[in-house]
Amino acid sequence: MNIMKKNTVRLDDYSWEEIKHLEENGYKTIVFGIGATEQHGPSLPLQADALQADKAANIIASELPNALQAPTIRVGYSKYHMHFSGTITLRESTLQAIIEDYIDSFVHHGFSNIVIFISHGGNVPSTEKVVKSKQEQYPNTKIVYYYDQDAMTAIGELAMELQLTPAQIGTHAGHMEASLVQYYAEDLVDKNKLIEGYIGEWSEELHQKMHEMGMHTLTKNGVLGDQRGSSKEMGKKYLNVLKPVMMNYIKKKLEE
Ligand SMILES: [Zn+2]
C-alpha cells in the first residue's frame, strides 16, 4: 500500500503531520546528500556537486523502500578551490557540526536508517569522522555513507568502451562530471567552454600539494580531466553504470 499522499520523497515537501503519519507507517529511512558550491572549470556551474548530491540522494530515497530525502547540504569543504571566483567553503568543523545536527535530528524523530551521499571528495574525511562517532553514540541506528565505493572498477570498464583514459574521465570536473551535470541540468552548462584540464600523472604527493597550495597550482582552468566530448547522453551512460553499484553498496550496508 502506498501511503504517500504526495508524489515526492522530499521530507520538506510534507507537513509535520504527514511526516508523523509516514513514520508511524514504516518510513524509517532518511537520505541526504552533501555537495559543494565550488568551481568546476569555465563551463560548469558552481552548483555541480550540490546538484549531483541532490539528484543522487533523490534516486536513493526513491529506490529504497519507505525512504525520504532530507534537504541537501549544498556547501561543503572546498578550501583548495578558493582561488577561483565564487567558491564558498565551510570550515571542516562547521561541516561536521551540520552533519552532527542532521543526524541528531533524525534520531530524535525515530529514523533508524540514515544514508548519506557525498558528491565531493573534500567532504569525505569530515563525514567519515562524524559517522564513526555518531554510530558509536547511536548503536540502534544504522548510518551509512556513500562516496564512490566500488564505482571506479565499473567506470573503468565504461572508459575502455568510450576509449577514454582514467585521467580524461577525471576526478574533478572531468568527462564524467561534465556529462553528469549536462544530464541533470544541460541549460546550466556552457558547451562552448568544455575544456581539457590537467590530465598528467596523479600521485598522493600531487593530491597533498593540491590540498595545501590550492587547485590552481595544478590546473589553471580548474579542471582535472578532459570535458571535451562530454554530453547529456554520456551522462546517462555514466549514471546507468554508477546507479546499480551505488544501490548495491548501500543496500548491502543497510542489511549488515
Ligand atoms: Zn565535482
Residues with C-beta atoms within 5 A of ion ligand 1: 48-49
186 in Cβ contact with 220 (< 8 Å): no
CB atoms within 10 A of CB 70: 21
Predicted local confidence at residue 3, as pLDDT = 72
At residue 5 the predicted structure's pLDDT band, cuts being 50, 70 and 90, is confident
Instruction: Tell how far CA 102 is from the center of its chain.
Output: 16
- CA 163 to CA 184: how far, in whole Å? 23
Tell me, in angstroms, the distance from the centre of ligand 1 to residue 177's CA. Answer: 6
For residue 1, pLDDT over 60 is answered with no
Query: Which of 231, 186, 220 is closest to 45 using CA atoms?
Result: 186
- For residue 80, how far is its CA from the centre of ligand 1 (angstroms)? 13
Condensed to tens digits (0 to 9), the pLDDT of residues 159-172 reads 999 999 999 999 89
For 190, the grid coordinates are 556552457
> By the 8 A CB rule, do 170 and 238 touch?
no
The Å distance, Cα 79 to ligand 1 centre, comes to 14
- Grid coordinates given for 63: 529506490
**Cα(237)–Cα(239) distance, rounded to whole angstroms?**
5
Average pLDDT rounded to a whole number, residues 54-71: 98
pLDDT (mean) for 53-66? 98
Distance 26 CA to ligand 1 centre (A): 34
Q: How far is the CA of 6 from the centre of ligand 1 (A)?
A: 31
Ligand 1: centre distance to CA 148 (Å): 12
Q: What is the mean pLDDT of residues 45-72?
A: 98
Place of cell 562552448: 192
| Residue-level pLDDT at 202 | 86
For 127, the 3-state DSSP assignment is helix
Q: What domains sit in the chain, N to C, each tagged with a CATH number?
A: 11-255 (3.40.50.10310)
* 3-state DSSP assignment of residue 118: strand
Q: How far is the CA of 52 from the centre of ligand 1 (A)?
A: 8
Ligand 1 centroid to 24 CA: how many Å?
A: 37
Indicate whether 187 pLDDT > 70. yes
> Mind listing the pLDDT tens digit for each residue in 67-124?
999 999 999 999 999 999 999 999 999 999 999 999 999 999 999 999 999 999 999 9
Question: Where does the pLDDT of residue 201 fall: very low under 50, low under 70, confident under 90, or very high at 90 and above?
Answer: confident
Half-sphere exposure of 250 (CA within 13 A, CB side): 30
Q: How confident is the model at residue 2 (pLDDT cuts 50, 70, 90)?
A: low
Cβ neighbours for 61, distance < 8 A, ≥ 6 positions apart: 9, 29, 31, 67, 68, 69
Q: What is the pLDDT of residue 106?
A: 98
Q: What is the C-alpha R_g of the chain? A: 18
Q: Which residues of 142-160 are buried (b: 16+ CB within 10 A; e: fewer)?
A: bbbbbbbeebeebbeebbe
Instruction: Measure 172 CA to ligand 1 centroid, in angstroms.
Output: 5
How far apart are the CA of 120 and the centre of ligand 1, in A?
6
Q: Which three cell numbers stand for residue 43?
A: 563551463
CA of 230 to the centre of ligand 1 (A): 15
Ligand 1 mean position, distance from CA 49 (Å): 5
The mean pLDDT value of the chain amounts to 96
Given a cut of 60, whether residue 156 has pLDDT beyond it is yes
Ligand 1 centroid–CA 7 distance in Å is: 29
* CA nearest to 235, candidates 189, 191, 179: 179
Distance 119 CA to ligand 1 centre (A): 7
